[in-house]
Amino acid sequence: MLKKSIEDALNKQLNAELYSSYLYLSMSAYCETVPLKGFAKWLRMQAEEEKAHGMKFFDYLIEAGGTVKLVKIDAPKTEWKSVGDVFNQVYEHEKKVTALINGLMDLAIKEKDYATQNYLGWFVKEQVEEEANASEIQAQIKMMGDIVGHLFWLDHELGKRK
C-alpha cells in the first residue's frame, strides 16, 4: 500500500505527464501551420510518448494499491515565434520534468518506499534521453539558423521518426 504522500505525488506526476502530452500536441499543431510537417510529426509522436508515460503512472498507482485521481489539465500555449522557440521550450520543459522525477525519487527515498524507487528508476533514465534529444534538436536549429528555409533538412530528418 502506498503512503498518502507518495500516492499524492504520483498523481501529481500523472497529471504533469498528461500535460506534457497536451503541450507537445499543441506544438505539433503549430508546426503543421508553419508548415514543417517533420517537426510536427516528431512532436506528435512525443505527445504520444508522454501520454504513455502518464499511463505508466496510472497503472503503477493501481498496481501499488493507490487511487488514481485525475484532475483538470491546464491549457497549453498555442503560439510560438518560431520552431526554434518551440524547441527552446521543449528543452526547458524536459528539464522541468526531470526535476519533478528527481523530486519523486527524493520523496520515495525519504519515505523508504523501495518499490517506488525501483519503479522511478526507469523514468530517471528516460529523462536523460529526453533532455539529450531536445538539446540536440535545439542545438541543430541554432546552428542552421532559425529560418524556415534552413530547417528543411532537419524537418525531413525528424519526419523519419518511427
pTM of the predicted model as reported, rounded to 2 decimal places: 0.94
* Number of domains forming the structure of the chain: 1
Report pLDDT digits (tens) over 51-81: 999 999 999 999 999 999 999 999 999 999 9
Q: Which domain holds residue 27?
A: 4-158
Domain harbouring 54, CATH code: 1.20.1260.10
Query: Tens digit of pLDDT for each residue in 20-44?
Result: 999 999 999 999 999 999 999 999 9
> Which of left, alpha, beta for 65 (phi over 0: left; psi -120 to 50: alpha)?
left
- Of 64, 69, 88, nearest to 138 (Cα)? 88
Within 10 A of 134 (CB to CB), how many other CB atoms are there?
20
